[in-house]
Structure 1
């Protein structure tokens, strides 16, 4: 999930294809990428190429930054250091790049690159050594890059890690995998609920099939072109648009309510968000790929055996929906650093997260899952979460991301925990003004992105 301009990102995320069916496969990639081949570390792994065009230095106080680029442990990288380095390093963890074989690197988005440099921070970003939904590659490549930075520039006195989408999964696992290595974390639109993202995508398709009276699991090559249009028609969703007439029939309304509840519960803008995202989760279903790894087919971890859907009227969905076991239960239960690893909710450093309230791709419920797990581990003092009133995936303004960064940096430096939103109390989340506190009013006033799908904040 690459972050560039907002609507470029929207097009990018459509490349994700998480199949919902297939035979159980092992997570076959070794924990250390080096044994995969005898390829030298300054080259990509076999089959991959790296696109890392020269990045022009930024101007910082009228002087150019120092930019270093290259290949390290099969990953492309960029390092940028301001003229007056404060001794601190921000590492950027990118999102999902698709299943292709071109590795790419990018600077921190949302204006953070210049903000970091202006504040004296150096930053570094890795392509990771593999594409796909490979969180392990992100965890290891980011750590490797931090060590390379120490060799090439100097050992930083502080390391913070920032990331988006799948990069949030990378962050959540990194700070548990290396608990004393990082000093602060800023996951944005992150997959902090790990496997439960894929449970939700499974739910979306199976519940829609059940309510529409059209069953196709495992899916076939005709699912997107033949079956999904039938589902949409049978539920009255074909003509549903954000802000338009409510065309959903009785079963369509039940499906919408179930989808809203699975993505964070009743909240401002929920019906408009559903209308915006209604078709997208269907596009993530694809026929199985024999021999696929977890990174290629993460849905082999997903299950709905114990999911209780609400509302359960007029159709008793909990009795009629198709129930699916996790096809790779050992991988789901394992706590090792797999390609799609668990996050246990054990941060030991300040974590400040941002999430779009209307996101139904990597839904707001990811924050609720993480908050609950952190609370069970008695570590809520380390976590601050903020809801942003926008519908797209990773739709943040420079002001929202920059304020979050500044607050995290002060928290790390001074130990003062900043303010956040309560995410786990339904009565709070459903309030009409929920998400207003940290959302950029100027972005709303300008009509940026999907902001106007929400009512104006008081």
Structure 2
């Protein structure tokens, strides 16, 4: 059986309202080492938004349950012909509001029509709280059969549990199968496989990328940073944009061209669909709205974790450092993080759980090539870490030719999930893309193999609008 709870985990479940069985463990939860701003925040789960209807145009009969567990909302769906396997779905970042929300998986139709049960948590906290995401998702997995019994259906423990998530949820899904998580989580679940899509697979390196973009923009605009954090960044922003774009974000000035080149390398190097992604206003706005931060990730940490001292900027396609690049790397303002701002802890997971690349179950990832928000570089960092730890034999990565953040077709996600499931259940490793070789990634046809542009019944209308405007593949 793939699901276990430690004695400490058992008490955690009891304190979360899962107790009720005689003989439940009575040990105390770990004492928090310190408090932080985030710990004082309160959130609410509007129960009116938890119920969800049956799938449209589906003949599959399912039981659908919703409720609140440990302050987090949940949804569960189990087909009448359940195959004994459970998929935990982890949603992405939903902001800093007080209201929590649960999201159904995009691959829901595929799951229930193939006999899989799925469950999704709202998590008990918003903000970039991956720690809560892992713990609350695991707590829901551990409570699955108990909830089913309370709802009137007796189920055996799942024989397999998988995890799939997008964006911040991709971070959660990747962290959930890490050896460090298995050692330090309060609620322990041994997943059989994972599918992180558009995931933050470099964990805190994502925020270093934001900081590197900001300081590069200030430098090229002739308004270099001199202190950290940048005071009143929003007041400076209009002048920066004017210096770097003649028409934001479509047309850059000569100095903006240099910034764009630097950002191309920060996000994964020369590749198809980068230009299209760079020109998406909503993504640039999201990035720029986050510039000027203090490095605590909105109070998730107590100290600055941003560090750009190890970043090597490049401004052209030659990996050798030119004289101009050497001068830029010497002169650009560097942010130095506080040591151990996101250290390992004795009271559970790190505040931002690590993705070290130490895992021993099948993992299949997806990433869009044009994503400026959670860039393709995350895949390269994950690959580097997995290879350094000998976990690359368990990793398959696929590139998708789309310009925005997480704008996959449902079919692309279904193919990734099914590739992982077939690998785990039948032992045949699926194919994937080389994300590391610069000449391969830069090829005009890169990403063609696993891109599926044909819309399905569950795709958003934008898929049929955007995909035909992108550079076509000349081979597949």
- TM (norm. structure 2) is 0.80
Partner residue in 1 for 2:307: 303
Give the conservation status (yes or no) of the 8 Å contact 1:268–1:454: no
Contact 1:58 1:65 in 2 (8 A): no
Looking at structure 2, the residues matched to 260 and 182 of structure 1 have their Cα atoms a distance apart, in angstroms, of 35
Aligned mates of 1:377, 1:289 — CA distance in 2 = 28
The answer to whether the 8 Å contact 1:357/1:387 transfers is yes
1:41 shift after superposition: 7.3
How many pairs were matched up?
412
- The 5 Å alignment of 1:58-97 reads 58=55, 62=59, 64-97=61-94
Q: Deviations over 1:227-261 (max 9, x none)?
A: 122112222x141555xxxx433322111111000
Q: Where does 1:296-335 land on structure 2 (aligned, <5 Å)? A: 300-311=304-315, 314=324, 316-327=327-338, 329-334=339-344
5+ residue gaps, structure 1, are: 1-30
- Using a 3 Å threshold, how does the CA distance of structure 1 residues 342 and 132 change in structure 2: closer, same or farther? same
- Are residues 88 and 60 of structure 1, via their aligned partners in 2, closer, same or farther at CA, if it must alter by over 3 Å? farther
1:115 paired with 2:102, answer no
Q: Does 1:457 align with 2:473?
A: yes
TM-aligned CA deviation for residue 218 of structure 1: 3.8
SS in 1 for 2:335: coil
Q: Is the 8 A contact 1:211 1:317 kept in 2?
A: no
Q: Is the 8 A contact 2:409 2:463 kept in 1?
A: no
Return the offset for 1:373.
0.5
Contact residue 169 and residue 194 of structure 1 kept, 8 A = yes
Query: Could you say which residue in structure 1 is the equivalent of 2:318?
Result: none
- CA deviations 1:195-248 (Å, max 9, x no partner) are 110110000000100111113554567423x3122112222x141555xxxx43
Residue of structure 1 equivalent to 2:42: 47
Match of 2:164 in 1: 162
Q: Pairwise CA RMSD of aligned residues?
A: 2.9
The structure 1 residue matched to 2:277, chosen from 263, 273, 280, is 273
Structure 2 counterpart of 1:351, from 360, 363, 379: 363
- 2:270 aligned with 1:282: no
Partner of 1:398: 410
Q: Which runs of 5+ in 2 are unaligned?
A: 1-7, 20-39, 149-155, 184-188, 316-321
Q: Rate the CA distance shift 1:39–1:182 in 2: closer, same or farther, 3 A.
A: closer
* Deviation larger for 378-387 or 337-346: 337-346
CA drift of 1:145 comes to: 0.4
SS at match of 2:260: helix
Q: 1:386 aligns with which of 398, 403, 408?
A: 398
Q: Deviation of residue 61 (structure 1)?
A: 6.6
CA shift in 2, pair 1:352/1:325, >3 Å: same
For the pair shown, which has the larger CA radius of gyration, 1 or 2?
2
Q: Secondary structure at the match of 1:123?
A: strand
Q: Cα offset for 1:442?
A: 2.7
Measure how far apart 1:449 and its partner are. Answer: 5.1
420, 424, 448: which is aligned to 1:436? Answer: 448
Indicate how the Cα distance of structure 1 residues 107 and 278 shifts in structure 2: closer, same or farther if over 3 A, else same.
closer
**2:199 paired with 1:190:** yes
- Does residue 142 (structure 1) correspond to residue 137 (structure 2)? The answer is yes
Distance 1:326 1:250 in 2: 31
Q: Look up the match of 1:173.
A: 175
User: Alpha carbons of 1:449 and 1:370: their partners in 2 closer, same or farther (altered >3 Å)?
Assistant: farther
Q: State the distance in 1 between where 2:445 and 2:439 align.
A: 12
Give the conservation status (yes or no) of the 8 Å contact 2:45–2:71. no
1:103 shift after superposition: 1.1
- Residue matched to 1:339: 351
